[in-house]
Every structure is written in structure tokens, then in C-alpha cells.
């Protein structure tokens, strides 16, 4: 559960991603059920220094049938883990590098959310401030969206969901 304006929620959370030396780097991941692939920003890919394979990428957007082609993209396996359990590593077999995800910066303030929504009191929500998502996890890795636990709001209009990568 994330809340940028306290009126809207987005399925994203901070995760550990592992570089070529198997050292963890913090990154904000966005679960996107409208995307058929998992993509990583070029900036994060460069920081990770992981081996990759060349890939000709053609992106199609829902807005006015727009598309973008990148003949210099890369594909690579990406290891990631929940912030609270870095030893439980999950591998995304095929992440694609994109120039920029062009996603807005996000903030989540757990204390404020819990004050506004007392049903979240016992949920260990992560905090982040003014962070740009660098990973977009698509339905090609929908297993990472799978709920391990859920807590509904009293009127069932919202819920918090625990996944392999956290709450």
C-alpha cells in the first residue's frame, strides 16, 4: 500500500536488488498488472553492473498507439529480496533495461497512513520519501504479486497485501 496524495494508492514497495558482487542496493519497485514485461531503469542497471544480453526492444503504449524502439536495450536476470528478509532472494529471469521508466516520484509515510487508517496499525509498512520507481514488475513475473496475507479496511474499499517482496 502506498499513498502519494493520501487519496490514491499504488502497488509499490522498496526492495533489495543485488549487484554483480551480490551486494544489496535499495530500489523502489512498482507492480504493474498492465505490463507484460518486467523493466528496469538504465540508471539502476548501470549501478548493478550485471552481465546482460543485447535485446531489440519495441514498447507499445496505451496512449494513442504510441511506440518506442530501442535497438540497444539489454536483458538480464535480476535478483531481489524483501527489505525485511534479504536472505530470501527471488530471481526475475528476464528483466529488460529501458532508458527511463518515466514514473512519478513516490512517498509513503506509514505513521500518517496509520493515523488516517487505524486498520493498518499492525502492518509493517515501509517508509520512503520522494523516490522514483526504478523497477516495474510486469505480469511475466505475476508470481511476485501473489498475496501471502491480506488485511481489509473495515468497509473493504482498501486493503494491504503481503507478497514475497513485502507489504
pLDDT of residue 24: 97
Output the pTM of the full model. 0.85
How many angstroms separate the CA atoms of 60 and 40, rounded? Answer: 16
**pLDDT digits over 51-101, tens only?**
999 887 766 555 444 455 565 789 999 999 999 999 999 999 999 998 888
How many angstroms separate the CA atoms of 128 and 82, rounded? Answer: 14
Amino acid at each position: 500500500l502506498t499513498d502519494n496524495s493520501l487519496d490514491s494508492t499504488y502497488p509499490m514497495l522498496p526492495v533489495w536488488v543485488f549487484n554483480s558482487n551480490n551486494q544489496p542496493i535499495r530500489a523502489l519497485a512498482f507492480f504493474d498488472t498492465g505490463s507484460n514485461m518486467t523493466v528496469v531503469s538504465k540508471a539502476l542497471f548501470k549501478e548493478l553492473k550485471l552481465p546482460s544480453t543485447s535485446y531489440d526492444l519495441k514498447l507499445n503504449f496505451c496512449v494513442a498507439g504510441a511506440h518506442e524502439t530501442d535497438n540497444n536495450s539489454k536483458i538480464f536476470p535480476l535478483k531481489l529480496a524483501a527489505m525485511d528478509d534479504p536472505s530470501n532472494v527471488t530471481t526475475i529471469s528476464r528483466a529488460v533495461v529501458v532508458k527511463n521508466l518515466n514514473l512519478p516520484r513516490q512517498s509513503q509515510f506509514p505513521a500518517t497512513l496509520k493515523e488516517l487508517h487505524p486498520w493498518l496499525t499492525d502492518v509493517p509498512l515501509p517508509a520512503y520519501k520522494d523516490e522514483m520507481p526504478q523497477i516495474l514488475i510486469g505480469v511475466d513475473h505475476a508470481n511476485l504479486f501473489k498475496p501471502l496475507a491480506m488485511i481489509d479496511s473495515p468497509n473493504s474499499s482498501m486493503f494491504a497485501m503481503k507478497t514475497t517482496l513485502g507489504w
